[in-house]
């Protein structure tokens, strides 16, 4: 039997330092990306890109004319990816130093390239369609509808995309499989299988997930979770993940992301139209405006983040309560403490950081909400 988790002072110190590093690196990456995009707009690189992809300056009236728009979006998406690469490298190097990242640099770069390609497909194509409807008087209605469709497609494709980055294989330990299935069945969830999630090839962090819909629904347990957590804590983590499914969180997230996405796009269109009322860029509907559109989306997304994060923290708290009811408050609290220690998470970050950036409540708050003592006794 594993010893009860405790807060190792050295790891706690490192977790706090790592949190600060990640915060400021992320903010620096976003700020640099925005400044570069604004500079490209000022230098009229968007106008040049529009001309190079559509030298005859034809109106974008036919479906085939979407190609030049997509090329402009792709160009600046790649530029943004290149700008963020140094910050990604710094994050990878710090993660390696802390022992949280074990993936070689070549593998991390390959994953970054995969992410770029997926971004070009899953965001580049919808944004191209958005540009096509912007000249219409009912553009705002199409924007809302499109954001809803994109939120649904992203939810459905999410599990499949995970397989592009990690290896999954059926769990061969029948004892663990039966206990995990039992947790799901007690909550009224039937799963098609229990899988080992190959996190260990890239990170030492532990995690689990319920992936898929209907008959394809399955539970994925990180190999790092199985190697480091006692079975009662694994059951609590699984119960938490099952709680999202039973509580109907996937549809809730679709609505939340659709509302946030459509609001960001509508505000961006209005802002870019106001800024480009004069000059060579003819409003947000002009593909040459894309550097400014991308910069505005980044800023609006950052400013609007607290609202979305408050929603996700609410649902994570509900999943904690569900998991505790279907296992125990004690095992759930122990699992959270062990997650904080293994994943190098600061359990008590500053309040403002929680409000602005945290999709989950702070570990200390989650443990207290379960009625368990904080800090945990050693």
Bridge partner residues of 169 (DSSP): 196
Q: Is the pLDDT of residue 52 over 60?
A: yes
- Helix 45-53 × helix 290-326 angle, to 10°: 100
Q: The tokens of 205 are what?
A: 């962090």
**Residue 64: per-residue pLDDT:** 41
Q: Is the pLDDT of residue 182 over 60?
A: yes
DSSP-derived pairing of the beta strands 193-197 and 208-211: unpaired
**Residue 266: per-residue pLDDT:** 97
Which class for 10: exposed (0-12), middle (13-18), buried (19 or more C-beta within 10 A)?
Answer: exposed
Task: Report the mean per-residue pLDDT for the chain.
Answer: 92
Mean pLDDT value across residues 350-363: 96
Residue 218 CA from chain centroid, whole number: 20
Q: Are residues 340 and 363 in contact, defined by beta-carbon separation less than 8 angstroms?
A: yes
N-term to C-term CA, the chain: 16
Q: The tokens of 285 are what?
A: 């509907």
**Residue 60: per-residue pLDDT:** 44
- Using CA atoms of 18, 320, 169, 227 in order, give the dihedral in degrees to the nearest 10: 60
pLDDT digits (tens, 9 = 90+) for 250-298: 999 999 999 999 999 999 999 999 998 777 888 888 888 999 999 999 9
Interatomic CA distance for residues 138 and 362, integer angstroms:
42
Q: The tokens of 287 are what?
A: 């593909």
Query: pLDDT exceeding 70 applies to what percent of the chain?
Result: 96
Q: Are residues 260 and 303 in contact, defined by beta-carbon separation less than 8 angstroms?
A: no
Bridge partner residues of 209 (DSSP): 220
Q: Is the pLDDT of residue 51 over 80?
A: no
CB atoms under 10 Å from CB of 370, counted, come to 20
**Residue 308: per-residue pLDDT:** 96
Of 325, 338, 158, 330, the residue nearest 249 (C-alpha): 158
**Residue 6: per-residue pLDDT:** 74
Classified as helix, coil or strand, 210 is strand
Mean pLDDT value across residues 153-176: 91
**Residue 57: per-residue pLDDT:** 53
Query: pLDDT exceeding 90 applies to what percent of the chain?
Result: 79
Interatomic CA distance for residues 281 and 271, integer angstroms:
13
Band (67; pLDDT cuts 50, 70, 90)? confident
Contacts of 125 (CB under 8 A, 6+ apart): 70
Interatomic CA distance for residues 364 and 48, integer angstroms:
52
Interatomic CA distance for residues 131 and 95, integer angstroms:
39
Of 302, 295, 307, 376, the residue nearest 335 (C-alpha): 376
Q: Is the pLDDT of residue 144 over 70?
A: yes
Interatomic CA distance for residues 95 and 343, integer angstroms:
11
Q: Is the pLDDT of residue 8 over 50?
A: yes
Task: Spell out where the chain has E strands.
Answer: 168-170, 193-197, 208-211, 218-222
Contacts of 293 (CB under 8 A, 6+ apart): 268, 272, 284
**Residue 3: per-residue pLDDT:** 59
Interatomic CA distance for residues 191 and 157, integer angstroms:
18
Q: Is the pLDDT of residue 311 over 70?
A: yes
Interatomic CA distance for residues 89 and 81, integer angstroms:
12
Mean pLDDT value across residues 130-159: 92
- Fill in the DSSP letter of residue 377: P
Query: Helices then strands (H, E): number in the chain?
Result: 14, 4
Q: Is the pLDDT of residue 62 over 70?
A: no
Interatomic CA distance for residues 313 and 344, integer angstroms:
19
Tell which wins on pLDDT, 217 or 232. 232
Q: Is the pLDDT of residue 63 over 50?
A: no
């Amino acid at each position: 039997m594993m010893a009860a988790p405790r807060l190792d002072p050295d790891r706690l110190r490192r977790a706090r330092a790592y949190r600060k590093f990640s915060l400021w690196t992320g903010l620096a990456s976003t700020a640099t990306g925005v400044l570069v995009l604004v500079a490209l707009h000022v230098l009229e690189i968007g106008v040049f890109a529009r001309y190079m992809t559509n030298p005859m300056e034809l109106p974008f009236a036919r479906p085939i004319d979407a190609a030049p728009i997509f090329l402009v979006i792709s160009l600046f998406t790649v530029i943004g990816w290149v700008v963020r690469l140094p910050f990604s490298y710094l994050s990878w190097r710090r993660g390696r130093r802390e022992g949280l990242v074990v993936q070689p640099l070549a593998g991390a770069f390959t994953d970054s390239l995969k992410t770029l390609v997926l971004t070009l497909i899953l965001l580049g194509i919808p944004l191209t369609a958005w540009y096509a409807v912007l000249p219409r008087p009912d553009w705002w209605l199409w924007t809302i509808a499109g954001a809803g469709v994109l939120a649904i497609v992203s939810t459905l494709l999410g599990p499949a995309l995970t397989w592009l980055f990690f290896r999954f294989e059926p769990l061969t330990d029948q004892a663990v499989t039966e206990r995990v299935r039992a947790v799901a069945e007690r909550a009224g969830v039937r799963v098609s299988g229990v899988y080992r999630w190959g996190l260990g090839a890239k990170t030492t962090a532990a995690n689990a997930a319920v992936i898929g819909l209907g008959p394809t629904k399955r539970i994925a347990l990180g190999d790092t979770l199985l190697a480091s957590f006692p079975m009662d804590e694994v059951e609590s983590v699984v119960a938490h993940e099952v709680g999202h499914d039973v509580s109907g969180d996937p549809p809730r997230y679709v609505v939340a992301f659709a509302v946030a996405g459509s609001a960001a796009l509508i505000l961006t269109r209005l802002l870019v139209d106001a800024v480009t009322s004069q000059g060579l860029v003819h409003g947000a509907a002009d593909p040459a405006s894309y550097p400014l559109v991308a910069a505005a989306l980044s800023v609006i997304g950052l400013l609007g983040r607290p609202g979305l994060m408050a929603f996700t923290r609410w649902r994570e708290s509900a999943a904690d309560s569900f998991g505790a009811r279907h296992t125990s408050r004690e095992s759930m609290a122990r699992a959270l403490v062990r997650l904080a220690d293994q994943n190098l998470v600061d359990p008590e970050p500053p309040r403002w950081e929680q409000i602005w950036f945290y999709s989950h409540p702070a570990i200390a708050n989650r443990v207290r909400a379960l009625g368990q003592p904080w800090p945990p006794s050693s």
